Chain A
């Protein structure tokens, strides 16, 4: 579904990603964890080309997102191809990024109507169904500033889903939320995972990663340090850095009085 081959990416002198390779199968939920500055978000942003890469290849359903120029540097295929690929991969951001001048419904309808040129009635029906799905059927005509962070993020998820993407990317989507609002967003993500959506989730919610992920990837300093099933990663990490990282998270959560690493607001399925 999504395949990354030896991705390298630098911001100036800083090498953010070093030879990162990753494959995500259809229907798989992959959680990417790691300390800040590890390159997790950059990795996600490279997948749908919000960031260009310096070398490597990204395939979405076997189609390379880049072609190579004579000097071997990756180049974007003609722009509309990128846009087409992007529209097949939904993305949800830490800061929601809803369009403030449109209502919840309009935010969701925008892209299918203008990018896909689908009929307004079909899109509207789908958008309303999505709002029901994320539990916001009473906020159809609300503007983003009238919604709480958790509600905005759920609208953002619905907006991405409205394009009927083949995969979804989640970039620390609960990090900007008040603790009591995290649960409602995670619940929607759990439901999506249960429905078989292909998901790549960059997260600090270890509880979510443990319960929902098919595979957990630990990144640090721009490399994939370790990957494995959640059971293996959380109970018996092989790498020292992974162990250290998980240890520090557990300690922090213990300090906060949370049991294990799961936020208390979130009901276990």
Chain B
């Protein structure tokens, strides 16, 4: 045990720890920003991919294939280094957010699409037989059920996005990894700093993955009503609130 501890050098930690925490804050901020935007954008792309309008469908498919088929790193390079040639100059954080968002939105859209298509066919037929239009069906019947299906995979993407924000260091976003690199380059305490960074990542992502597991369990239980809910029962979890009550 002593051998391992001898590798650590905790001198200077009080000086650079705030910088690391600032980096962690940027990582978290970036994760939530990208997640929020790609959840919305992903849904739009997913709906575009199941629409009956062929050109819209083709465009959405093209987008997804390009984003999935090229490295996220390249997309970040493109946004940060190539766009300025066309007069679009973005701050590092913005470039990082856009780069990760266009990528993650593509993956999210696939998750949504899988969820939409996993809703039983009988549900669509029942909705159609009641005279519902496609949009009504999507909003009231399909999406609320699809969301229950996709919460676990979305959670996993969320955690992997949290780690993938480190890619933004390449376009000089001072997130956790980049902040650590800067410090290590001056005091050469690579072992200590990178281990510390690993610990910080774990401290954030482990509770996150526990959260995902919890959600997964809850989703599996099925449609358990909330006892003592609103008089009409109230559409629970995932259902559009106030759809009927």
Contacts and interface: CB of A to CB of B under 8 A. Distances in A.
Interface of A: 48, 50, 79-80, 83-84, 86-91, 93, 95, 97-103, 105-106, 109-111, 113-115, 120, 124, 140-146, 156, 159-160, 163
Contact of A103 (B132, B225, B238): B225
Contacts of B229: 141
B122 A97 contact: yes
15 contacts: A80-B133, A83-B132, A83-B133, A86-B129, A90-B129, A93-B125, A97-B120, A102-B235, A103-B225, A106-B235, A106-B243, A109-B244, A114-B243, A143-B223, A143-B233
A214 B33 CA distance: 65
Given A100-B145, A101-B236, A48 B129 contact: yes
Interface in B207-241: 222-225, 229, 232-233, 235-239
B117 interface: no
B26 to A, nearest CB: 38
Question: In this complex, which of B126, B131, B136 has the most chain A Cβ atoms within 10 angstroms of its Cβ?
Answer: B131
Interface residues of B, number: 33
A106 B136 contact: no
Main secondary structure of the interface of B (DSSP, over half): loop
A140 B232 CA distance: 8
B155 interface: no
Contact of A141 (B125, B222, B225): B225
A24 B25 CA distance: 70
Contacts of A160: 129-130
B223 A111 contact: no
Contacts of A79: 133
B145 A111 contact: no
A89 B245 CA distance: 25
Given A99-B141, A105-B233, A143-B225, 10 more contacts: A84-B131, A97-B126, A99-B123, A100-B145, A110-B130, A110-B244, A115-B131, A124-B232, A141-B225, A141-B232
A105 B244 CA distance: 9
A100 to B, nearest CB: 5
Interface in B179-232: 222-225, 229, 232
Nearest to B132: A115
Contacts of B144: 101
Interface in B113-130: 120, 122-123, 125-130
Given A100-B223, A103-B233, A145-B222, A163 B130 contact: yes
Given A114-B136, A115-B136, A141-B232, A101 B131 contact: no
B131 A163 contact: yes
B148 interface: yes
Contact of A91 (B129, B132, B133, B148): B129
